Amino acid sequence: MALITMRQAITDALREEMHRDERVFIMGEEVGVWGGTYAVTRGFYDEFGEKRVRDTPISEMAIGGVATGAAMGGLRPVAEFMTINFAFLALDAIINHAAKIHYMFGEQMRVPVVYRAPGGGGRQLGATHSHTPDVIFAHFPGLKVVSPSTPYDAKGLLKSAIRTDDPVLFIEHHTLYQIRGEVPTEEYVVPIGVSDIKRPGDAVTLVGYAQGLQVALEAAKQLATEGIEAEVVDLRSLRPLDMGPVLDSFRKTFRAVIVEEGYRTFGIGAEIAARLQEEGFDYMDAPVKRVAQLEAPLPYSRELEQSALINVDRVIAAVKEII
Protein backbone atom coordinates (compact mmCIF):
# COMPACT_ATOMS: atom_id res chain seq x y z
CA MET A 1 0.00 0.00 0.00
CA ALA A 2 1.13 3.52 -0.77
CA LEU A 3 0.04 6.62 1.19
CA ILE A 4 -0.89 9.17 -1.50
CA THR A 5 -3.18 12.15 -2.08
CA MET A 6 -6.44 11.95 -3.95
CA ARG A 7 -4.87 14.09 -6.68
CA GLN A 8 -2.12 11.51 -7.13
CA ALA A 9 -4.63 8.66 -7.10
CA ILE A 10 -6.59 10.28 -9.96
CA THR A 11 -3.37 10.98 -11.84
CA ASP A 12 -2.22 7.38 -11.45
CA ALA A 13 -5.57 6.03 -12.63
CA LEU A 14 -5.48 8.19 -15.77
CA ARG A 15 -1.88 7.29 -16.58
CA GLU A 16 -2.41 3.56 -16.06
CA GLU A 17 -5.54 3.51 -18.22
CA MET A 18 -3.85 5.49 -21.00
CA HIS A 19 -1.02 2.95 -21.05
CA ARG A 20 -3.51 0.07 -20.95
CA ASP A 21 -5.77 1.28 -23.78
CA GLU A 22 -4.59 3.51 -26.61
CA ARG A 23 -8.18 4.58 -27.28
CA VAL A 24 -8.18 6.58 -24.02
CA PHE A 25 -7.33 10.26 -24.48
CA ILE A 26 -7.68 13.40 -22.37
CA MET A 27 -9.21 16.70 -23.46
CA GLY A 28 -10.12 19.96 -21.77
CA GLU A 29 -9.02 23.49 -20.97
CA GLU A 30 -5.33 23.65 -19.98
CA VAL A 31 -5.02 19.88 -19.47
CA GLY A 32 -1.97 19.68 -21.76
CA VAL A 33 0.83 22.23 -21.64
CA TRP A 34 -0.34 23.64 -18.30
CA GLY A 35 -1.03 20.23 -16.76
CA GLY A 36 -4.58 20.87 -15.61
CA THR A 37 -6.12 23.48 -13.33
CA TYR A 38 -5.56 21.19 -10.32
CA ALA A 39 -2.32 19.67 -11.71
CA VAL A 40 -3.91 16.25 -12.24
CA THR A 41 -2.48 15.87 -15.76
CA ARG A 42 0.89 17.51 -15.15
CA GLY A 43 3.52 15.84 -17.37
CA PHE A 44 0.98 14.00 -19.51
CA TYR A 45 1.51 16.24 -22.54
CA ASP A 46 5.20 15.32 -22.71
CA GLU A 47 4.53 11.65 -21.94
CA PHE A 48 1.64 10.96 -24.33
CA GLY A 49 1.84 13.80 -26.87
CA GLU A 50 -0.65 16.31 -28.17
CA LYS A 51 -2.74 13.70 -29.99
CA ARG A 52 -3.81 12.07 -26.70
CA VAL A 53 -3.66 15.11 -24.40
CA ARG A 54 -5.60 17.80 -26.16
CA ASP A 55 -5.93 21.41 -25.00
CA THR A 56 -9.32 22.73 -26.08
CA PRO A 57 -10.83 26.18 -26.59
CA ILE A 58 -12.65 27.74 -23.63
CA SER A 59 -15.97 26.23 -24.66
CA GLU A 60 -17.62 23.59 -22.49
CA MET A 61 -20.29 23.14 -25.12
CA ALA A 62 -17.56 22.10 -27.55
CA ILE A 63 -15.77 19.90 -24.99
CA GLY A 64 -18.96 18.04 -24.13
CA GLY A 65 -20.03 17.66 -27.75
CA VAL A 66 -16.66 16.55 -29.11
CA ALA A 67 -16.11 14.09 -26.25
CA THR A 68 -19.55 12.56 -26.78
CA GLY A 69 -18.99 12.29 -30.52
CA ALA A 70 -15.52 10.79 -30.08
CA ALA A 71 -16.95 8.13 -27.79
CA MET A 72 -19.64 7.29 -30.34
CA GLY A 73 -16.84 6.95 -32.88
CA GLY A 74 -15.00 4.29 -30.90
CA LEU A 75 -12.60 6.24 -28.69
CA ARG A 76 -12.67 6.54 -24.88
CA PRO A 77 -12.33 10.24 -24.08
CA VAL A 78 -11.81 11.64 -20.60
CA ALA A 79 -13.10 15.21 -20.83
CA GLU A 80 -12.25 17.64 -18.03
CA PHE A 81 -14.50 20.54 -17.13
CA MET A 82 -12.57 23.10 -15.10
CA THR A 83 -15.44 23.10 -12.58
CA ILE A 84 -18.77 21.28 -12.59
CA ASN A 85 -20.52 24.65 -12.89
CA PHE A 86 -19.23 24.96 -16.46
CA ALA A 87 -20.76 21.58 -17.30
CA PHE A 88 -24.12 23.38 -17.42
CA LEU A 89 -23.04 24.64 -20.84
CA ALA A 90 -22.64 21.01 -21.97
CA LEU A 91 -25.93 19.69 -20.58
CA ASP A 92 -27.35 18.95 -24.02
CA ALA A 93 -24.39 16.74 -24.98
CA ILE A 94 -24.29 14.99 -21.59
CA ILE A 95 -27.98 14.61 -20.71
CA ASN A 96 -29.78 14.73 -24.04
CA HIS A 97 -27.33 12.67 -26.08
CA ALA A 98 -24.68 10.68 -24.20
CA ALA A 99 -27.17 9.45 -21.58
CA LYS A 100 -29.80 8.42 -24.15
CA ILE A 101 -28.09 7.18 -27.32
CA HIS A 102 -27.61 3.59 -26.13
CA TYR A 103 -31.33 3.38 -25.29
CA MET A 104 -32.67 5.26 -28.32
CA PHE A 105 -30.76 3.18 -30.87
CA GLY A 106 -31.52 -0.22 -29.40
CA GLU A 107 -28.03 -0.93 -28.06
CA GLN A 108 -26.42 -0.47 -31.49
CA MET A 109 -24.19 2.32 -30.18
CA ARG A 110 -22.45 2.96 -26.86
CA VAL A 111 -20.94 6.18 -25.46
CA PRO A 112 -17.88 5.26 -23.31
CA VAL A 113 -17.02 8.79 -22.17
CA VAL A 114 -15.91 10.11 -18.77
CA TYR A 115 -16.59 13.73 -17.86
CA ARG A 116 -14.30 14.78 -14.99
CA ALA A 117 -15.62 17.75 -13.03
CA PRO A 118 -14.26 19.31 -9.82
CA GLY A 119 -17.13 20.58 -7.69
CA GLY A 120 -18.26 21.81 -4.29
CA GLY A 121 -17.43 24.79 -2.11
CA GLY A 122 -14.82 25.67 0.46
CA ARG A 123 -12.12 27.24 -1.73
CA GLN A 124 -13.42 30.82 -1.97
CA LEU A 125 -14.20 30.50 -5.67
CA GLY A 126 -17.33 32.63 -5.53
CA ALA A 127 -20.98 31.85 -6.13
CA THR A 128 -20.72 30.83 -9.79
CA HIS A 129 -17.77 28.44 -9.22
CA SER A 130 -18.87 26.77 -5.99
CA HIS A 131 -21.92 24.72 -6.86
CA THR A 132 -22.78 21.19 -5.76
CA PRO A 133 -25.35 20.40 -8.48
CA ASP A 134 -24.77 16.63 -8.35
CA VAL A 135 -28.46 15.84 -8.04
CA ILE A 136 -29.19 17.50 -11.41
CA PHE A 137 -27.01 14.99 -13.24
CA ALA A 138 -27.99 12.03 -11.05
CA HIS A 139 -31.64 12.64 -11.91
CA PHE A 140 -31.28 11.27 -15.45
CA PRO A 141 -31.19 7.53 -16.29
CA GLY A 142 -28.42 6.52 -18.68
CA LEU A 143 -25.70 8.61 -17.06
CA LYS A 144 -23.62 7.15 -14.24
CA VAL A 145 -22.61 9.66 -11.55
CA VAL A 146 -19.67 8.97 -9.23
CA SER A 147 -18.21 11.09 -6.41
CA PRO A 148 -15.42 9.52 -4.30
CA SER A 149 -14.37 10.58 -0.82
CA THR A 150 -11.00 8.78 -0.47
CA PRO A 151 -7.90 8.27 -2.63
CA TYR A 152 -8.57 4.50 -2.71
CA ASP A 153 -12.05 4.98 -4.11
CA ALA A 154 -10.99 7.78 -6.45
CA LYS A 155 -8.46 5.60 -8.24
CA GLY A 156 -10.57 2.46 -8.34
CA LEU A 157 -13.74 4.23 -9.44
CA LEU A 158 -12.01 6.27 -12.14
CA LYS A 159 -10.50 3.13 -13.64
CA SER A 160 -13.95 1.52 -13.66
CA ALA A 161 -15.45 4.66 -15.21
CA ILE A 162 -12.93 4.66 -18.06
CA ARG A 163 -13.51 0.97 -18.76
CA THR A 164 -17.31 1.00 -18.74
CA ASP A 165 -19.21 1.40 -22.01
CA ASP A 166 -21.57 3.93 -20.43
CA PRO A 167 -21.14 7.70 -19.97
CA VAL A 168 -19.90 8.64 -16.50
CA LEU A 169 -19.79 11.98 -14.69
CA PHE A 170 -16.85 11.74 -12.27
CA ILE A 171 -17.14 14.48 -9.63
CA GLU A 172 -14.02 15.45 -7.65
CA HIS A 173 -14.53 17.70 -4.65
CA HIS A 174 -12.28 20.77 -4.72
CA THR A 175 -11.20 20.38 -1.11
CA LEU A 176 -10.31 16.68 -1.23
CA TYR A 177 -7.37 16.74 -3.66
CA GLN A 178 -4.90 16.99 -0.76
CA ILE A 179 -6.33 14.34 1.56
CA ARG A 180 -4.15 11.24 1.92
CA GLY A 181 -5.06 7.59 2.12
CA GLU A 182 -3.71 4.12 1.49
CA VAL A 183 -3.90 2.87 -2.09
CA PRO A 184 -2.74 -0.56 -3.31
CA THR A 185 0.30 -0.57 -5.54
CA GLU A 186 -1.11 -3.49 -7.53
CA GLU A 187 -3.95 -3.31 -10.07
CA TYR A 188 -7.49 -2.95 -8.69
CA VAL A 189 -10.86 -1.40 -9.52
CA VAL A 190 -13.83 -0.29 -7.43
CA PRO A 191 -17.23 -1.17 -8.94
CA ILE A 192 -19.57 1.69 -9.79
CA GLY A 193 -22.89 1.63 -7.94
CA VAL A 194 -21.75 -0.02 -4.71
CA SER A 195 -21.96 1.82 -1.37
CA ASP A 196 -19.41 1.16 1.36
CA ILE A 197 -19.32 1.11 5.16
CA LYS A 198 -16.49 3.41 6.19
CA ARG A 199 -16.98 3.10 9.96
CA PRO A 200 -19.03 0.51 11.92
CA GLY A 201 -21.42 1.53 14.67
CA ASP A 202 -24.79 0.77 16.22
CA ALA A 203 -26.24 4.04 17.58
CA VAL A 204 -27.03 6.02 14.43
CA THR A 205 -26.42 5.79 10.68
CA LEU A 206 -24.57 8.67 9.01
CA VAL A 207 -24.90 8.69 5.22
CA GLY A 208 -22.70 10.85 2.99
CA TYR A 209 -20.37 11.06 0.04
CA ALA A 210 -17.40 13.18 -1.05
CA GLN A 211 -16.86 16.04 1.42
CA GLY A 212 -20.03 15.10 3.27
CA LEU A 213 -18.52 11.70 4.02
CA GLN A 214 -15.38 13.28 5.47
CA VAL A 215 -17.50 15.54 7.70
CA ALA A 216 -19.54 12.52 8.80
CA LEU A 217 -16.39 10.57 9.71
CA GLU A 218 -15.07 13.41 11.85
CA ALA A 219 -18.45 13.79 13.54
CA ALA A 220 -18.51 10.04 14.25
CA LYS A 221 -15.04 10.27 15.78
CA GLN A 222 -16.14 13.03 18.14
CA LEU A 223 -19.42 11.30 19.00
CA ALA A 224 -17.50 8.18 19.96
CA THR A 225 -15.80 10.11 22.77
CA GLU A 226 -19.29 10.49 24.28
CA GLY A 227 -20.15 6.83 23.87
CA ILE A 228 -22.22 7.29 20.70
CA GLU A 229 -20.98 4.87 18.02
CA ALA A 230 -22.14 6.06 14.59
CA GLU A 231 -22.01 3.86 11.52
CA VAL A 232 -20.86 5.81 8.45
CA VAL A 233 -22.01 4.79 4.97
CA ASP A 234 -20.31 6.19 1.86
CA LEU A 235 -22.62 6.27 -1.17
CA ARG A 236 -19.68 6.67 -3.60
CA SER A 237 -22.09 6.54 -6.57
CA LEU A 238 -25.25 8.63 -6.95
CA ARG A 239 -26.45 6.74 -10.03
CA PRO A 240 -26.71 3.82 -9.78
CA LEU A 241 -27.63 4.40 -6.12
CA ASP A 242 -26.91 1.43 -3.86
CA MET A 243 -29.26 1.61 -0.86
CA GLY A 244 -28.41 -1.88 0.41
CA PRO A 245 -25.73 -0.92 2.98
CA VAL A 246 -27.75 2.14 4.02
CA LEU A 247 -30.85 0.07 4.75
CA ASP A 248 -28.86 -2.68 6.45
CA SER A 249 -27.30 -0.08 8.74
CA PHE A 250 -30.65 1.62 9.39
CA ARG A 251 -32.23 -1.69 10.41
CA LYS A 252 -29.51 -1.93 13.05
CA THR A 253 -29.42 1.65 14.35
CA PHE A 254 -33.07 2.76 13.78
CA ARG A 255 -31.89 6.35 13.23
CA ALA A 256 -30.22 8.21 10.37
CA VAL A 257 -28.61 11.54 9.54
CA ILE A 258 -27.78 12.34 5.92
CA VAL A 259 -24.84 14.67 5.30
CA GLU A 260 -24.61 16.39 1.90
CA GLU A 261 -22.99 19.57 0.69
CA GLY A 262 -25.75 20.25 -1.81
CA TYR A 263 -28.91 22.17 -0.98
CA ARG A 264 -31.47 20.46 1.26
CA THR A 265 -34.47 21.18 -0.98
CA PHE A 266 -34.83 18.53 -3.72
CA GLY A 267 -31.41 17.18 -2.72
CA ILE A 268 -29.66 13.81 -2.56
CA GLY A 269 -30.63 13.66 1.12
CA ALA A 270 -34.30 13.96 0.21
CA GLU A 271 -34.01 10.88 -1.98
CA ILE A 272 -32.22 8.88 0.73
CA ALA A 273 -34.79 9.91 3.34
CA ALA A 274 -37.66 8.92 1.05
CA ARG A 275 -36.11 5.50 0.38
CA LEU A 276 -35.59 4.93 4.12
CA GLN A 277 -39.25 5.74 4.75
CA GLU A 278 -40.46 3.53 1.90
CA GLU A 279 -38.21 0.53 2.53
CA GLY A 280 -37.30 0.81 6.23
CA PHE A 281 -40.34 2.36 7.91
CA ASP A 282 -40.76 -0.48 10.42
CA TYR A 283 -37.26 0.25 11.77
CA MET A 284 -37.70 4.02 12.10
CA ASP A 285 -37.45 5.20 15.72
CA ALA A 286 -36.94 8.89 14.94
CA PRO A 287 -37.30 11.32 12.03
CA VAL A 288 -34.54 11.13 9.43
CA LYS A 289 -32.39 14.26 9.72
CA ARG A 290 -30.64 16.06 6.85
CA VAL A 291 -27.57 18.29 7.21
CA ALA A 292 -26.98 20.33 4.06
CA GLN A 293 -25.58 23.59 2.75
CA LEU A 294 -27.56 26.71 3.62
CA GLU A 295 -29.82 27.71 0.75
CA ALA A 296 -27.99 30.72 -0.64
CA PRO A 297 -25.30 31.23 -3.27
CA LEU A 298 -21.93 30.68 -1.63
CA PRO A 299 -20.17 33.98 -0.86
CA TYR A 300 -16.55 34.77 -1.58
CA SER A 301 -15.76 35.75 2.04
CA ARG A 302 -14.10 32.78 3.74
CA GLU A 303 -15.96 33.30 7.01
CA LEU A 304 -19.35 33.60 5.32
CA GLU A 305 -18.66 30.65 3.01
CA GLN A 306 -17.67 28.39 5.91
CA SER A 307 -20.78 29.41 7.85
CA ALA A 308 -22.97 28.31 4.92
CA LEU A 309 -21.30 24.92 4.39
CA ILE A 310 -21.85 21.70 6.30
CA ASN A 311 -19.71 21.15 9.39
CA VAL A 312 -19.11 18.68 12.18
CA ASP A 313 -21.02 20.65 14.83
CA ARG A 314 -24.21 20.63 12.76
CA VAL A 315 -23.96 16.87 12.25
CA ILE A 316 -23.40 16.22 15.95
CA ALA A 317 -26.35 18.45 16.85
CA ALA A 318 -28.59 16.52 14.41
CA VAL A 319 -27.50 13.21 15.89
CA LYS A 320 -28.22 14.35 19.44
CA GLU A 321 -31.69 15.52 18.42
CA ILE A 322 -32.73 11.96 17.52
CA ILE A 323 -30.86 10.00 20.21
Residues known to be catalytic: 60, 129
Q: Return the amino acid letter for 53.
A: V
What distance in Å separates the CA atoms of residue 148 and residue 134, rounded to the nearest whole number? 12
What stretches of the chain show up as alpha helix (H) in DSSP?
A: 6-20, 44-48, 60-72, 91, 101-104, 134-138, 151-163, 210-224, 244-253, 268-280, 302-308, 312-322
Instruction: Give the CA distances from residue 121 to residues 128, 147, 273, in Å, rounded to whole numbers and listed in that order.
Output: 10, 14, 24
Handedness of CA 76, 81, 85, 89 (dihedral sign): negative
Rg (CA), the chain: 19
- Per DSSP, the three-state class of 199 is strand
Burial class (CB in 10 A: 0-12, 13-18, 19+), 185: exposed
- Contact (Cβ atoms closer than 8 angstroms) between residue 138 and residue 239: yes
Contact 198, 153 (CB under 8 A): no
Beta bridge partners, 183, equal 2
